[in-house]
Structure 1
Amino acid sequence: MQLIIEHLSKKYPNGVLALDDVSLTIPNGMYGLLGQNGAGKSTLMRTLATLQDADSGTAMLDNLDILNQKDAVRRVLGYLPQEFGVYPKVSATDLLDHFAILKGVTNSRERSELVTALLHRVNLYDVRKKAVSSYSGGMKQRFGIAQALIGNPKLIIVDEPTAGLDPGERNRFYNLLSEIGENVIVILSTHIVQDVMELCNNMAIIHKGKVLYSGSPLDSVAALKGKIWEKSITKSELPTYQQQYNIISNKLVAGKPLVHIFSETEPGNEFQPAQPDLEDVFFSTIEKSNFVAA
């Protein structure tokens, strides 16, 4: 199973070019789509989920034309949007049953067995009779995965799934996604680099509608070895360092900015070599793109 996207573009009526000639090849497994808010991730996800049209380009799920065979695609699609509403006072069992009917599972016994199996799989069986509207954020996300799994989908799209979850819920969600991603295509759209590093064998970085990088997270980190340098400075020094160096990120450590810079050679001035991570890849890739655009 492969998802092949070629030259996909989308411009909104307000003039925003949300997708700019996007081409990607996405294999089976977990695939991370990494980008800042407004980068075009959600536009791409909604297009692949058949919720909106592209202006040009193609997207093929094996022999299925996503842009032109929407009904057929929806039969093999599972989708967990960034935000989804639920009916008030409706239990998890009843709501999943309703979704299963919409997916075409008409046999009541088969539907009951399916709902029970899904609730066990996402560890919500013990609270199956409670209203989904009363669930915590993490429980709602696990319920969202359960509804996305109805019909044994070949393509699952999850948009910003761990935003707002506490560490325990995030770990449970990681484990669930990893299990699901063993046999189908799972596209994880997020701005959280840790999600991609921990879950995905392949990824893309998207910025201002353009794909800036596609490949392995581990390979992208390895390519930065010896090129990331760090130094702890005072807050008052930060503007000067921003003028003198290619700072890709800074964060407060013990109340002082710890700056990371990109440099092919040793920058001197007491900068120390830093072990690169995916956050460095993300910020340096975007910084390079902004510099080229300027």
Structure 2
Amino acid sequence: MSVVVEGLTKTYGRRHALDGLSFTAGTGVTGLLGPNGAGKTTLIRLLATVLAPDRGTMRLLGRDPATERQAIRRRLGYVPQEPGYHRGFTVFEFVDYVAILKEMADRRTRHDEVRRVIDEVGLADVSGRRIRALSGGMRRRIGIAQALLGDPELVLLDEPTAGLDSEQRLRFRDLIARAGEGRTVILSTHQIEDVAALCAKVVVLKDGGSVFEGTPKELRGLAEGRTWVGGRKEGPLCRHTGEGVFRTLGDPPPGARPAEPTVEDGYLLLLHEAAPAATR
């Protein structure tokens, strides 16, 4: 496994951002799901070696970040939730700047690599434009480009599709799917449809712990036989649909009309019923 996390704990004052979290991730795309405050961004920053845990252990690409952080960073690509671009730079200048920070010293070789990743994310035609003149979707693609410099073995993406429209998210799904070929990608997101479309594995966080680790199909299966529609609102996990009926999650009453569950149904049911201490 490229990522092995055991008993990870991180606190801020009295608040536990992570509380005894354990999970593994291998080649392909692993999705991190969870409500606000579940610990997703803290976990991504720990995996990126930006933070150190208070307790617990991590093995990243077979190495211990406590003693081999620089070696891990040389094989790591990271897109934070707020990348903080130098908006006066052109696309090429910014990605080249990151390449220098990644210790790519030979100018010709470095520029070839910069052009490669810019082309890979479909920005070759705007590589000379300043970042401040680009759309939000293009700026997100710059983040992916700099993360792919040097062909890293582990790529960490924190909410890369936040704020994008449906068409832009489809383009990003294609980018992320290609990034996950032959390497490990960990994707933190609120977009359940991105996880369903992209991820071979999903980890659901709640209150700093893991309450589920499995495939999207297995997550959807948690709502199998417990998704139904009716003519009135029943229970807390009930929503009115555009077809004029109520879709409800939970144990169905006699005579209820069953509905095909989705990954979102399994996720919502899990969060409603999972005890925070289940995996601590």
Aligned residues: 278
What's the counterpart of residue 182 of structure 2? Answer: 183
What's the counterpart of residue 7 of structure 1? Answer: 7
* Pairs within 5 Å for 1:185-204: 185-204=184-203
Q: Kindly state the Cα deviation for residue 113 of structure 1 after the two structures are TM-superposed.
A: 0.7
What's the counterpart of residue 269 of structure 2? Answer: 284
Partner AA of 1:258 in structure 2: F
Q: Kindly state the Cα deviation for residue 223 of structure 1 after the two structures are TM-superposed.
A: 4.2
* Pairs within 5 Å for 1:52-131: 52-131=51-130
| Greater Rg by CA | 1
SS of alignment partner, residue 19 of structure 1: strand
What's the counterpart of residue 165 of structure 2? Answer: 166
* Pairs within 5 Å for 1:198-237: 198-233=197-232
Mapped partners of 1:155, 1:112: distance in 2: 22
- Whether the 8 Å contact between 1:249 and 1:283 is mirrored in structure 2 is no
1:260 to 234, 240, 248: 248
Q: Kindly state the Cα deviation for residue 88 of structure 1 after the two structures are TM-superposed.
A: 2.7
Mapped partners of 1:84, 1:146: distance in 2: 12
Q: Which range moves more in the overlay, 59-68 or 47-56? A: 59-68
- Whether the 8 Å contact between 2:222 and 2:270 is mirrored in structure 1 is no
Mapped partners of 2:8, 2:218: distance in 1: 26
SS of alignment partner, residue 68 of structure 1: helix
Q: Which range moves more in the overlay, 78-87 or 222-231? A: 222-231
The runs of 5 or more residues in structure 2 that have no matched partner are: none
The 1:168–1:161 alpha-carbon spacing in structure 2 relative to 1, beyond 3 Å, is same
- Whether the 8 Å contact between 2:222 and 2:269 is mirrored in structure 1 is no
CA deviation profile, 1:236-267 (whole Å, cap 9, x unmatched): xx4xx33xxxx33424526x57331211xx41
What's the counterpart of residue 141 of structure 2? Answer: 142
- Whether the 8 Å contact between 2:75 and 2:153 is mirrored in structure 1 is yes
SS of alignment partner, residue 237 of structure 2: strand
Task: Tell me the percent identity.
Answer: 37
CA deviation profile, 1:189-248 (whole Å, cap 9, x unmatched): 011110100000111110111100001111222343222222243xxxx4xx33xxxx33
Q: Kindly state the Cα deviation for residue 67 of structure 1 after the two structures are TM-superposed.
A: 3.6
- Whether the 8 Å contact between 1:10 and 1:18 is mirrored in structure 2 is yes
**Superposition misfits of 4+ residues, deviation over 4 angstroms:** 290-293
Partner AA of 1:72 in structure 2: A
Q: Which range moves more in the overlay, 189-198 or 213-222? A: 213-222
Q: TM-score, normalization: structure 1?
A: 0.89
What's the counterpart of residue 16 of structure 2? Answer: 17
Mapped partners of 1:99, 1:292: distance in 2: 41
